[in-house]
Amino acid sequence: MADLAVELGGDDEIPLTLNHRSIGEKFIELYWQQAAPFKSGFLAQNHGKQAAIISAIQKFRQDHPFTLIAAKSLPAFKRLLSKVTTTVVVMPIDHLQNLGGGTEEFLYQRGKDSITLLPGVGYCLRRFQPLIQQLARSRWVDHVKGNRINMPLLGQADDLEGFLFEIPRLTLALVGNGLKGLTNGHCFYCGGSVREFDVDHFIPHSLYPRDMMHNFVIAHPACNRSKSNTLAAKSHLFNWIEFIQKHADDLSNIGLKAGVVFDADAAHSVAKWGYSNAIDGKSQAWVKKGDYEPINAGYLELLA
């Protein structure tokens, strides 16, 4: 809900309606990588029978060995989405607001095919999304590690969080090579030619950890390290907006081949959300190594 509030909502008190299928699709996206084998087997997400959503995605992936993006065009994906959505509606949506033996609608009201976040809830989910995702992911990792069924697979593994939530290296390489072709091998930030490069999240991954094709750029490793988890300065934001507009179709094609979600509107919404929060927090934007500037309303004017 927090992710969808960022991508679809606004910084206001207006109720936000989320249809069940969009929530179901978000579940598939979050669980897709986790339904793949970890080393020599599959990780359990329940202490008994495998979680229903994981089982459904595992079965689908075994029958249809495609990336998530390619799989979405298959008729069978509609059946998967319907099955996952039904599970989501019957379980978390139905039970999330159960308190003390009764139901307390403090987050949303239920409709036939959707939920509607109550006034102010969408704003709070947007405002505190980084904290929500940090707590949720930390608990998620602990839950998987604490499941005795997973102990033979995990051993002393220290790469569990990366497997659960990070983009695979092969996918990242496909993204990087595609972007290199679009930029003629130049760093997005300093404009210099690159031999070795990093694939950088323009809106930092630590701020919004969803891998979207339109949020990727290539950069010198030094530029990437210097920018780190900081939002980019106004000149970079201007260039990024021009870049995703000019190469909208090219970026979508790279995302399709690499299996990365491509959604220019969502990337734009995430950027607007990130810079809006930064203004409220009186944050600084990265210009270049050792050089920062205040983030002001002019940034949002570019994103209007």
Give the pLDDT confidence of 118-140 residue by residue, as tens digits.
Answer: 999 999 999 999 999 999 999 99
pLDDT at residue 158, as a whole number:
66
Please, is 277 exposed, middle or buried when counting C-beta atoms within 10 Å of its C-beta (0-12, 13-18, 19+)? Answer: buried
pLDDT at residue 169, as a whole number:
87
d(CA 279, CA 293): 12
State mean pLDDT over 53-82.
Answer: 96
State mean pLDDT over 38-63.
Answer: 91
Query: Which residue is associated with the tokens 């065009």?
Result: 73
What does 204-224 look like in DSSP terms, one character per residue?
-TTTS---BGGGEEEE-HHHH
Alpha helices in the chain (DSSP H): 2-8, 20-32, 52-63, 68-71, 75-88, 94-95, 121-127, 129-145, 151-154, 160-165, 169-182, 221-227, 234-246, 248-258, 264-280, 297-303
Sign of CA dihedral 95, 138, 168, 251: positive
Please report which confidence band the pLDDT of residue 58 belongs to, taking 50, 70 and 90 as the band edges. very high
State mean pLDDT over 50-69.
Answer: 94
- Give the global pTM: 0.86
Task: Answer whether residue 156 shows pLDDT above 70.
Answer: no
For the chain, the domains span: 2-165, 169-303
Task: Answer whether residue 236 shows pLDDT above 70.
Answer: yes
